[in-house]
Structures are given as structure tokens and as C-alpha cells.
Amino acid sequence: MGDISVGMQTPLATTRADLPSLMPFMPHPIQTLKFAVLAGDYIGPEVMAEALRVLKHVAQLENFALDATAADVGGAGIDHHGKALPDSTVKLCEQSDAILFGSVGGPKWEKLPPKEQPERAALLPLRKHFTLFANLRPGLLYRELTDASPLKRERIPDGIDIVCIRELTGGVYFGLPKETKTLPDGDIQAVDTMVYKKSEIERILQVAITTARARKKKLCSVDKANVLETSVLWRKTVTDYCAKHTPDLALTHMYVDNAAMQLARDPNQFDVFVTENMFGDILSDEMAVICGSLGMLSSASLGAGKNSLGLPFGLYEPAGGTAPDIAGQGIANPCAQILSAALMLRYSFGLEKTAQRIEAAVRQAVTSGTRTGDIAFGKPSVGTRAMADAVIANLG
């Protein structure tokens, strides 16, 4: 798998000594980017290797160093350490400023009890351990790729460019009680509990506001305030907070069922939308479908804590899974992983211009015709490595 050895913690450092001596000097606020590399399973390591190549190139171009260390997670964690999230992996993450994550799971581990399955036993505990409460998912479809979307071209003539912000550590996925029990009459009852505190709503709202301010200053809050108590609190909290702190933003509210329809009807009516955990889970998957291939979609999960640079600690991963159906063939699209690395530079390392540079290189590579099979629409396609080569060629 390219530069990474799965099965041990492996330094992948690009040191200053590796840099060409005649490189033009570019002052940089950060000397070394220290992050954990958790590639995971199936296509995870394949696309991760390419994202790391892109990062190494950009580090050379901009004169900073990478201190990236790989560790097992998911199925690889189960196979090598007996659990999906080995203690050594958690420790490495604690010592890093960010996590670049691939994806975990697949048929090899499907027969394990649900609690031991890679996704549940690795990703959820990671989110909890680092209080990764804010999930940012750009819904981006380039104009040149509108054929990848199931939506009619006339609905998205210029592609799609929206952002979903999902609360990730609260709501019904974590609320207690959460149990299944047999009732005295022999029937069986299962309970999940949806809980939100005002402080949790304000915390995710602040991320949404920052994101909306950097874009079109439009924010839509999605809830189900006509039915759910948590949504009533959600809507009141959002309304009060924005009235007090953000008169510059155009704030709207939408019920989640309507939001699901509007996403399919006219996605670009949204610019940034913010919503609670389960609604965000569902809407962000719908967003992934209308944006064409999962191979193009990145995500960032930002933590409540700060890293050693005083910036948000975060986990950055593609929106898709491990794609076992195409793993091992060298044909997976690495763009989602590369774009996730760009998000890491933006949020956890404060390198906005470098992030934009990578995003522009991906756009340029794809729109000028280099395509993996998932976005080729029957035209000739390239493999994972050649796709990354095209991105690297466009970095300059």
C-alpha cells in the first residue's frame, strides 16, 4: 500500500532534509504538520497512499514538513490487535494534531457481533473520545460532472455547491436509556432517547455560523419542531442566538421532511444547512447521492478540543466506505481522500491557501478530463495512482 505499512505505527516523515535545496523560500506559519494516518480497510489504504503523496508534494512546494504516523483501525485493528480501535491507535491520535482517516469495515468482519463491527467499534468511540461534535460535509459537484448526479441537468446547470453541518455527538444515537426489554405481557420493547442541551445546540451553531459567514452568509436550520421537543429547543436556541449574535446572516428554518424534498428539487437553494445528528446522517447521505460519486466527497469532524496549535482537533475522512467491490484493483477514486486532507490543512492546521491549492488541483484534474471509472461515464478512465498524478501535476 504505497508508503504506509499497516500493522505497526510507522513514521512517514517528510523532513526538511528531504526538501530540494534550491526551492524558493516561502515563509510558512507552521513548520511541521503532525497527524495520525488511519487508513483502515479495503480501498482505505489505496486512496490514503495517494492523499499522502499529494500532501508530500504540496509540503515540498510550500516548504513545510509532514510528521505523519500510520496506525491500524477497523478490520486491520481487529486482525492485528484484537480490536477495532487499539489502545496504541488512540494514544497516537492523542499525540497528534489531527487524524486523517480512510474508511473501515467490509465483508471480512461482517459476522462479528454488532458491537465489535469495525465502524461501530472504531468510529463511534473515536468520535466520543475526541468529542468530535461537528461534522462538515461539502456537497460539491463540478459543473462538468453533472451527468454523475441522478438529478436532471436543468435542476443543477452549474453543478452543486452546498455544505451540510451535522451535530455528531448528541441526539438519539447517544441518548439514554437505549435498550430492548421484554415486557410483562411477553411483548418486546426497544427504546432510543433523543436528548439535546441548549449548550450543544449553540456549539454546533457556532461552527455553522463560521462556515456560513465564509460563504454566502445564508444559513438554514433543519429540525422537526412541529413534533419533537428537542427540535422545539433547537429552533428557539438557533433563533435567539442568531438574533443576538448574527444579524448579518440570512437565517431560515425548515422541517426535515421538507428539507429532504428540497434537496432533491433544488439543492442550491441551500448554501449551508445545520441539523441534529440523525437528520444530518440521512440528509448528508441524500446529498452524497445527488452529488454523484462518493469518490468525490470529503468530510471533516471537528472536536471540542484544540490541538497543540490552538486550532480544532479533527478527524478527516471520505464520505464513502471501504468499497469492497472495487478494492485491490487500483481503480478507486482518491479525490475524496485528497479533499479530506485539504480540509485537514484548512481546519486543524490553519492553511487555508494550501487547502485551496489542493482543491483547485483536484478540480482542474477532473474538469480537464482525467477521471476514475466512477466519474468517467463510459469514457476512458484512469486508475487511482494516475488520478493522483493528475492532481499533483496541477498543484503547481
Chain residue at closest Cβ approach to ligand NAD: 321
- Does 105 interact with ligand NAD (rule: CB under 6 A)? yes
- Does 365 interact with ligand NAD (rule: CB under 6 A)? no
- Does 119 interact with ligand NAD (rule: CB under 6 A)? yes
> Quick check: 266 and 156 in contact, CB under 8 A?
no
- Does 99 interact with ligand NAD (rule: CB under 6 A)? no
SS3 161: strand
* Cell numbers for 193: 432517547
Task: State which of positions 198-257 bind ligand NAD (CB under 6 A).
Answer: none
> Quick check: 221 and 235 in contact, CB under 8 A?
yes
Q: Of 288, 312, 285, which is closest to residue 300 (Cα–Cα)?
A: 312
- Does 374 interact with ligand NAD (rule: CB under 6 A)? yes
- Does 161 interact with ligand NAD (rule: CB under 6 A)? no
Q: Which one of the listed residues 3, 108, 173, 389 is annotated catalytic?
A: 173
Cβ proximity to ligand NAD: between 75 and 159 the closer is: 75
Pick one of 238, 254, 323, 341: the residue that binds ligand NAD (CB under 6 A).
323
Pick one of 59, 68, 123, 341: the residue that binds ligand NAD (CB under 6 A).
123
Pick one of 147, 257, 325, 352: the residue that binds ligand NAD (CB under 6 A).
325
Cell numbers 429540525 correspond to 223
Q: Which one of the listed residues 224, 316, 347, 374 is annotated catalytic?
A: 224
DSSP secondary structure code for residue 341 in this structure:
H
- 16-22 contacts: CB < 8 A, separation 24 or more? 16/65, 18/60, 18/65, 19/60, 19/63, 19/65, 20/60
Whether residue 224 lies in the annotated active site: yes
In whole angstroms, the minimum distance from the beta carbon of 225 to ligand NAD comes to: 30
Pick one of 333, 348, 354, 370: the residue that binds ligand NAD (CB under 6 A).
333
DSSP secondary structure code for residue 23 in this structure:
P
Identify residue 154 by its one-letter amino acid code. Answer: E
> Quick check: 195 and 175 in contact, CB under 8 A?
yes
SS3 325: coil
- Does 169 interact with ligand NAD (rule: CB under 6 A)? no
Cβ proximity to ligand NAD: between 221 and 301 the closer is: 301
Query: In this chain, which stretch among 57-65, 233-241, 250-258, 324-332 interacts with ligand NAD, using CB under 6 A?
Result: 324-332
What is the C-alpha separation between 307 and 97, in angstroms, rounded?
5
Whether residue 147 lies in the annotated active site: no
What is the C-alpha separation between 209 and 247, in angstroms, rounded?
11
> Quick check: 267 and 139 in contact, CB under 8 A?
yes
Whether residue 248 lies in the annotated active site: no
Cβ proximity to ligand NAD: between 123 and 219 the closer is: 123
**Which positions are catalytic?**
173, 224, 257, 281, 285
Question: Can you give the binding site for ligand NAD, defined by CB under 6 A?
Answer: 43, 47, 103-106, 119, 123, 293-295, 317, 320-326, 332-333, 336, 374
